[in-house]
Structure formats: C-alpha cells, structure tokens
Amino acid sequence: MNVIEIGSSDHRRASAGMLMGSIVVFAVLYSPQPLISLFSKEYHISPATAGASISLATIGLGIGLILISALSSTLERKKLMSLSLLLTSILAVASAFCHQFSLFLVIRFLEGISISGFPSIAMAYINEEFHRKDIGRVMGSYIGGTAIGGFTGRIVIGALTDILNWHTALLILGIINLGLSLYFWKSLPPARNFQPQRRSFREWQAGITGNLLNKRLLLLFITGFLLMGVYIMILDYIGYPLTAKPYELSQTVFGFLFVVNLVGTFSSIWFGKLADRHPRPQVIAIAISIFALGAFLTLIPVLALKIVGVALVAFGFFGGHSVASGWVGLVADSKHKAQAASLYLLFYYGGSSLVGWSGGLFLRHLGWSGLIYYAFALLAAAVLITSIAGEAIHLRRLQLK
C-alpha cells in the first residue's frame, strides 16, 4: 500500500489542499451565522426562522451525503472534491444577489447539497492515503482547517457587513473561495489507494444498513449528532444576547468574537494525538467537560467571561469531534469506510439542523439560560453514549481474540 508519509512533499501538498478545501466548505456553510440576529431585525422573523439560513444548508448537506455515499465507490476522490468546492463557491457568489429571504434560503439549501461532495470524501481520502498510525494526527489537522474556515467566513462577513452590506460581503467571500477551490484542485495529490468499484443499489443499501446496524458505529454517529448540534446551537444564537443591551456589540465586533474558534485548530490536533495514546471515551469525556464549562460561562453577565465561554465551547467541541470522526474510520469495515464517514456526517449535520433549530425555540420561550440547560442535558447524553461505545468496542475486541 503506497501511503503518504508524514513530512514528505506529498504530505505537505495534501495538508495544504485539505486546509484550503475545508476553509472553503466551512466558510460558506457558516458565513451567515453572525447575521442571524440581523436577519431577524431586517426581515421581522423569529430566531428559529432566521436560523434556517444555517439549518437548511445543513439539511441539504445531509441529503447530499446520502447521494454521495452511493457514488463514492465509483468516482475518483480528487475530482469529486474539486467539483464540490467549485460549485459551492459559485453558489456562494449567487447568494449575494438574493434580496428575498425565501430565495436566499433556497440557495443556502443548494449550497448544502453541493458542499456534501467534500467532507465525507475528505475523511475517506485521509483514511485511505495515510498510515493507520497517523490517522489521529492527520484527522486533527483536517478538523483544525474546518475551525479556520468557520472563523474566516464569520469574521469576514461580520466586518464587511458593517463597512458595506451583507450582500457585498457574501460576494467578496464567494470570490475568495473560488480562488481557494482552484488552489485545491491544483495542489492535492491524486488518490493512490482508491480502487473504483461498481456497486449495485442493493450493495450500496447493504453497506448503509450494515453501518447503521453496527452498534459501535451508531453510537459514534449519535455522538457526532449531539456534539455538533449543541455547538451550532450556541453559536447560532449567542448573537441575540450580545447584540442587545447591555452589550450592543456591532456586527464587526461580534464577527471578531468567532476568532475564538481558532482554538479548535489546536484542540483538534491535540485531542487527536491524545486519542492515539489513550482510551477514546476518556478523551472525549474530557473534551465535553471543557465544552460544558464554556457553555456555563456564557450564563454569567460579564462580557469577558462570555467570550471565554465561547472559546471553551469551541475548544471542547473540536477536540471531541476530532476524536469521534477519527474513531469512525478505525471501527468501520474497510469496504464501507466512505459510507461510514458519510453516515457520521449525516448525523453530525443532522444535529446542526435539528438541535440548532430547536435551540431557537428554547431561546424564544425560556431565554438564554433555558437554551444552555438544554445544552447541558445533551452533552451529558453524549458522555454516556461514548462510554457505552467504548465498552462495546472493547467487548468486540475480546470476542475477536
């Protein structure tokens, strides 16, 4: 097996390409997040409706992931990811010209579908092209790129919206992403260990069903659902208390709040290395504890502590997600790794859509404290589920021995 060695020129090219690709995907996916409270004011809509600018994109992404999983065994990895990034960037430019919120939501849904060609294939590419012992480190680097992308999109949109308007901000971001997509196409080494296989619908269905019936994988899928759901819920709606009295942050200042997501670049790599050396359930439990501490700090009516809280939320989330996503690649059957990655991301973005949307209801009826107590319950469930997953995997290994 011709794997990419850490420190080689191919490793540098692959890392740079994956970094650019993840920046494009997550800059586009979450760029409207700092604008959610602005949408409520401009279009006179509820928090849950304004939050649909994120949730509809992630619903489209989930649908696209199912379609991609059916094609992933036949299409060359690099071509599929490149096409996904280029189409996503073009749709991002198109969204800048939408002046009706309903049309904007339609474009956001289509962006979600186009984005789906990148994340699951990127995870499969990493699992196929790098040595097994390096998966935790490489996956941590990839997840770190998603943190940079999410931060870049949010801060660019926030600042440019204050200077110009949100339509022009989206246009500029779309053009930048188009350039990064072309860089990805040029720099990423072609997949060496991928062998295209034609599979019937029945075989595809069997792979999906097999992954869903695998208790160990299903528990990890649910973990991703909960982690992503709570993270997006907090980031979607933190703008409501922070742009209102007594803080009244501007769009630029609020956009810069998302710079704290860069701590995810460090935590994803750090937790990925920890997962290579320590039991994964324990590592995820530590990440979730940090996540919960950050959520608690957002309840304290001191702006500095709220900002620290958001930073800890990002730190814990990216750490936990890095471990869980890498764990899926190790547990999944070698013939169905791409499908397992797609299903993990389907649950992951399903959490973003469903939990993120439901958070708007808690905010509207119970306020910010009600939303955070809801988050605590979901995070506690995530710790319990990963603990059960660890026990199931341990028992499986004993049976194989």
Instruction: Quote the pTM value.
Output: 0.75
Q: What is the mean pLDDT of residues 160-171?
A: 90
Q: List, as own/partner pairs, every contact residues 46-50 make where C-beta atoms lie below 8 angstroms and the sequence separation is at least 24, other chains included.
A: 46/360, 46/364, 47/237, 47/240, 47/360, 47/363, 47/364, 48/357, 48/360, 48/361, 48/364, 49/360, 50/360
Q: Residue 220 — very low, low, confident or very high, per pLDDT cuts 50/70/90?
A: very high
Percent of the chain past pLDDT 70, that is, above it, reads: 93
DSSP assignment of 232-250 equals HHHHHHTHHHHSSTTT---
Output the CA–CA distances (angstroms, integers) from residue 90 to 24, 81, 170, in the order listed: 11, 15, 11
Interior/surface letters 108-132, b for 16+ CB within 10 angstroms, e for the rest? bbbbbbbbbbbbbbbbbbbbbbbee
For residue 183, what is the DSSP state? H
> pLDDT, tens digit, for every residue of 239-280?
889 988 888 888 778 877 777 777 877 888 888 888 878 888
Give tens-digit pLDDT for 55-98. Answer: 899 889 888 887 877 776 667 788 889 999 999 999 999 999 99
Q: Which of 375, 273, 278 is nearest to 319 (CA)?
A: 273
Helix then strand then coil, in percent of the chain rounded to 5, is: 85, 0, 15
Residue 400 has pLDDT above 50, yes or no: no
Q: Is the dihedral of CA 108, 112, 113, 117 positive or negative?
A: positive
Query: What are 31-59's pLDDT values in tens digits?
Result: 898 888 889 888 999 888 888 898 899 88
Pick the CATH number of 9-188+211-400 from 1.20.120.10, 3.30.1370.60, 3.40.190.10, 1.20.1250.20: 1.20.1250.20
Contact 96, 175 (CB under 8 A): no
- How far apart CA 220 and CA 215 sit, in angstroms, is 9
Q: Which residues contact 141 (CB under 8 A, 6 or more apart)?
A: 15, 18, 19, 268, 269, 272
Q: What are the sequence ranges of the domains in the chain?
A: 9-188+211-400
Q: What pLDDT shows up at residue 385? A: 93
What's the pLDDT score for residue 28? 92
Q: Tokens 């440019």 correspond to what residue? A: 160
Q: Give strand pairing partners of 130.
A: 4
Q: Which residues contact 79 (CB under 8 A, 6 or more apart)?
A: none
In the structure encoding, which two tokens stand for residue 188, read together?
């990423």
Q: What is the Cα–Cα distance from 84 to 24, expressed in whole angstroms?
A: 10
- Of 192, 147, 149, 91, residue with least CA distance to 314: 147
Q: What DSSP letter does each residue of 307-353 carry, written as one string? A: HHHHHHHHHHHHHHHHHHHHHHHHHS-GGGHHHHHHHHHHHHHHHHH
Whether residue 289 has pLDDT greater than 90: yes
pLDDT band at residue 145, thresholds of 50, 70 and 90?
confident
Please state, in angstroms and rounded to a whole number, the distance separating the CA atoms of residues 153 and 23: 8
Contact by Cβ (8 Å): 386, 245: no
Give me the chain's average pLDDT, please. Answer: 85
Q: Give the tens place of pLDDT for each residue, 1-22.
A: 577 777 777 778 887 888 888 8
Which of 58-62, 86-90, 200-204, 281-285 has the highest average model confidence (pLDDT)?
86-90
% of residues, the chain, pLDDT over 90: 35
